[in-house]
Structure 1
């Protein structure tokens, strides 16, 4: 065997290509190898090796997308399809001659008493059918060549991958043959120059050829290759269950960045939520988490976040707090007209008054009548005036009133106000007063704040969630803030089952996009989302939905809400823990959530996994 020889195919591949007009080498010189070494079964182009397989045998019938297994092969594999149309007149003559040969074979067998050959009978039928379709103009014939070039960094790796590709082709009933002594021609036949130097063609009709094109793919579309990658171009969720690829999703590139995660208990909702949170923090975003079961405490400690434990002694969030105007070096207690009403100054105060209405509806667990709502509204404004706060934003720096001040103002509104104040007694003077009996004692700060609700009584979970969401609302509407802010509401069913809480969550879902924010709602109680108008509204205002394993009782409602196919429905009914279906922007993909070992230590909370000790701020 002669030694390998060097070859330079075109001037672009020669070393020392002259520079272009701008003084830089041509694009071809920058991406093409300096030379090619040719051996019997492979070529060496640059620092890699390549070997080509020519497909010379095909199955009798092929399904739609029959090239997909080759296109999704996990190693580097170039698939080249050369197509040359055959003129209709030439194709008709060839088919006529072929049918004559088949008919002659059949007659010869009949005259000599031989049994019919099933293969000849099938081929004769196919040829007659194709001739009819060709005559009617329903089909055309093409000369098709299919070549597969395998690339690897070493010869050993090349031989291994080549054997795997041949085995894959065999499983597809394709006969793939190495192009021995024609390795150079095979490699050039798979270059994007539309030159077939091998000429190993097979005749195909339109239907068989059309089914080879990959019009669908299990992978999400790649990022625009003409646009430079930027920080924030999606996060990695895991591996694709339908291909060897990975799932990278950019929720901020959708119509809105809101996300809803639905799944039964134990399906992996919290795991996936924490993975999304952690990887968004990598991209320099801020986040707030409402944590009902202390599942995010270790994560906050690992990244240097803050944990606020509602329900602990001395931990309070005052619902009467107002957004603070920009700081000016002015003494606010000098020359302030408390009756002033500058343009736009009432928005913050009015919004906070509306929130207090919502909070009272949750605390009282009963909707207010029109007369009661009027009394509450008057008492709220009276409580603010009693603290010296008006619609003038300059007064908002003064200490805000508390729930006890509202109760006192209500008792001055007659019997209607007194009855409401009596119903508020547990939260003013009774057993639940600890969270409401004074000004706010903790402030969210830093890039991550986790609000733990585990220390709260069950009756106060919805109210605690509302207080945190209102605090977040004031944070993200701050005009001086420019960073992205994500809000995670875990086990949102505690809020969605209450009409007042669901309405507040719905308003936040609609407005958070305008403030460079995103809302993530996680719940295992699908009925609270799908069987209420407000729950469906929250769902419809999320551009990204992630569905994990579903219980049989909820599967029908989920399938109807998301128009699931039979295969998707089966997938969710049998999904393993951590397997999920991502739906967004008219695209769906199944994936398995994947975290690194370091991430696993703070993400997993199931028995058998012990979190590493971290030090973090806790209140």
Structure 2
């Protein structure tokens, strides 16, 4: 009779599996060849499985407390069933529970018995939970946690069960086998949403969220006070525990990031991946692109792409930062004229590739003031709306001046006014791009102008970030920052941006393959010190000593950075570090890859797509309807 009942239950289970497998493919695709039901285990096909229900839990848990169980190296299925409790039912249940606990405490007190510590702790927890539910700070849920352990035979299953139970005990969890309900336990652990065991425990919102299986225990949770900030992006998965690494730069003390890695380590790939996922969160991004690697991405998301070096693109460093208010009036800060004059000193120092002497600086300061006066611009703010002078006007002023070294300065400016590099400064600024993503490409600029081009672009971006009246999160990405940091004046300008970006709700991303330019100078080390997020990818043996000293790496971390594969790196946020590997969907990879072999293969196959195939991120929030019907071309919004 017992064997007949077991066979009947097995047939019912197979019938249920066939019914549930039909929507996913061929009938019976997920049905085992045979099913033998025992008292504490099942023989499913060629394997054996035992199921346990968690009946005891730790009193206090932290984020990701289930991670050791989820990353167990053997084959283990963990099933968490959650059922919300109606607020009225929850309040009545808590009220009755508090009444029972208080009655027990008073009975012990009246009869002179010692207080039970477990009852005292349960009473305090019940009072705290009742208060939070009454204030609407949390809700109650019934949750069942079940574990299915798989093995090849019964002997191996016994060893696996003992190991899993020891691991659960180390997490202060009590696991009980589903004796004489092995079939129901196995079905409960299948992804069908069936809880046939129904051994539940009441959880509040905080405790249940800590059990979320994709919470990374390796990085601190975002600051609750930063609720208005973006929710962060997915970087990849943890190489040690296989948990997800999700990080929010805008929830840190500052929003700056430094990415260091040798050529070919996946530095630009990771930066573009973070950029794309930040766009999903409504973050405005400006990019200084020295190699035109972001053009395809900008076209895909409806961004603006500006090619410096083109005949129709000009930048005038003399223009004052005038902004337009919502009512249409034009205004500027009180010290705009002084700040612009000081910036011109930095601009000319980078342009001439030499730090000016005090005599040069004095002559240049007088010439700048005289050049502005020649077009009617003075310290009076009412004159700031007049057309700004050009670099040619400054060169003419220096040539006419009788001050010492003025002629020398005029001669140094001659190539940029009348020579081969004159096109970029030959007229007023011709581009003031706006949008969710703005990419400034420097590839068409001569090598002699790339440093000053980077400086001019950062000046344009910073003026928009600092002077705009719209408050929104922004990222400024400087790829291959060594182009600017090799100049002392350029490194100083970058340092000032790093120091001031947090006040403007902006974050600066400095990515470079030349570690010596960053860690070899005081200003470079100051940029690193003022960045809350550090990403270290594979390092060259010649640079690993400097990186080890600057970031206080252990021997294991040092060896990891020397042998890391492409895309693998170390995310460091002060005292918290995690080794991760960046992951991208196929659609994201298609937009951000810069592998020459892959791009050549795609071009030869004629697979380059038109812009309408790509995303439209004109709206800060991505609509799922914009992703198309092809599953292979869809971005996993939840994962990103």
Cα distance in 2 for residues equivalent to 1:67 and 1:508: 41
- 1:111 maps to none
Match of 1:422 in 2: 411
User: Where do residues 321-360 of structure 1 align in structure 2 (5 Å cutoff)?
Assistant: 321-327=319-325, 345-360=333-348
Which whole-Å deviations, capped at 9, do the CAs of 1:374-427 have from their partners, x for residues lacking one?
111121122222222233444333211110111122223314212201111000
TM-score normalized by structure 1?
0.67
- Please tell me whether the aligned partners of residues 479 and 511 of structure 2 are also in contact (alpha carbons under 8 angstroms): yes
Change in CA separation of 1:290 and 1:228 when aligned onto 2, cut-off 3 Å: closer
Distance change (3 Å), C-alpha of 1:191 and 1:325: closer
**8 Å Cα contact 1:267-1:576 kept in structure 2:** yes
Aligned counterparts, 1:288-437, within 5 A: 288-327=286-325, 345-414=333-402, 415-437=404-426
Give the secondary-structure state (helix, strand or coil) at the position aligned to 1:284. coil
Aligned runs of 1:421-570 on 2, under 5 Å? 421-570=410-559
1:609 maps to what in 2?
598
User: Counterpart of 1:591 in 2: which secondary structure?
Assistant: strand
Deviates more, 1:366-375 or 1:256-265: 366-375
SS in 1 for 2:543: helix
Q: Aligned partners of 1:304 and 1:330: how far apart in 2?
A: 27
TM-score, normalised to structure 2's length? Answer: 0.65
Instruction: Describe the SS at the equivalent of 1:608.
Output: helix
* 1:421-467 per-position Cα deviation (integer Å, ceiling 9, x unaligned): 11110001111111111111122211111111000111111000000
- Displacement of 1:314 in angstroms is 2.4
List alignment gaps of at least 5 residues for structure 2: 10-37, 43-48, 56-64, 81-143, 168-174, 186-195, 204-215, 603-607, 617-640
Q: Distance in 2 between matches of 1:503 and 1:323?
A: 20
The DSSP-based 3-state class of the residue aligned with 2:596 is coil
Q: How many angstroms apart in 2 are the aligned matches of 1:269 and 1:319?
A: 31
Aligned pair 1:257/2:250, yes or no?
Answer: no
Contact 2:151 2:160 (C-alpha < 8 Å) held by counterparts:
no
The residue aligned with 2:78 is 76
Q: Which residue of 1 aligns with 2:581?
A: 592
Aligned counterparts of 2:480 and 2:309: Cα–Cα separation in 1: 18
| Alignment of structure 1 residues 41-56 onto 2, 5 Å | 41=40, 51-52=51-52
SS across alignment from 1:76: strand
1:80-119 mapped onto 2 (5 Å cutoff): none
Task: Report the Cα offset of residue 187 of structure 1.
Answer: 7.3
Judge conservation of contact 1:50–1:150 (CA < 8 Å) in 2. Answer: no
**Equivalent position of 1:150 in the other structure:** 146
Judged with a 3 Å threshold, the aligned counterparts in structure 2 of structure 1 residues 535 and 222 are, in CA distance, closer, same or farther, namely closer
Aligned with 1:239 (options 231, 237, 249): 237
Q: Distance in 1 between matches of 2:79 and 2:152?
A: 9
SS where residue 542 of structure 2 aligns? helix
Task: Kindly state the Cα deviation for residue 362 of structure 1 after the two structures are TM-superposed.
Answer: 1.0
Report the 3-state secondary structure (helix = DSSP H, G, I; strand = E; otherwise coil) of the residue aligned with 2:389. coil
Q: Does structure 1 retain, via aligned residues, the 8 Å contact 2:79–2:147? A: yes
1:15 match: none
Q: Is the 8 A contact 1:149 1:187 kept in 2?
A: no
**CA contact under 8 A between 1:218 and 1:589: conserved in structure 2?**
no
Q: Check 1:268–1:371 CA distance in 2 against 1; reply closer, same or farther (3 A cut).
A: same
- Measure how far apart 1:585 and its partner are: 4.3
CA positional deviation for 1:173: 10
Deviations 1:483-542 (A, max 9, x none): 212110001111111111101101111111111111000001111111111110111111
Structure of larger gyration radius: 1
Structure 1 residue 330: deviation in Å?
9.2
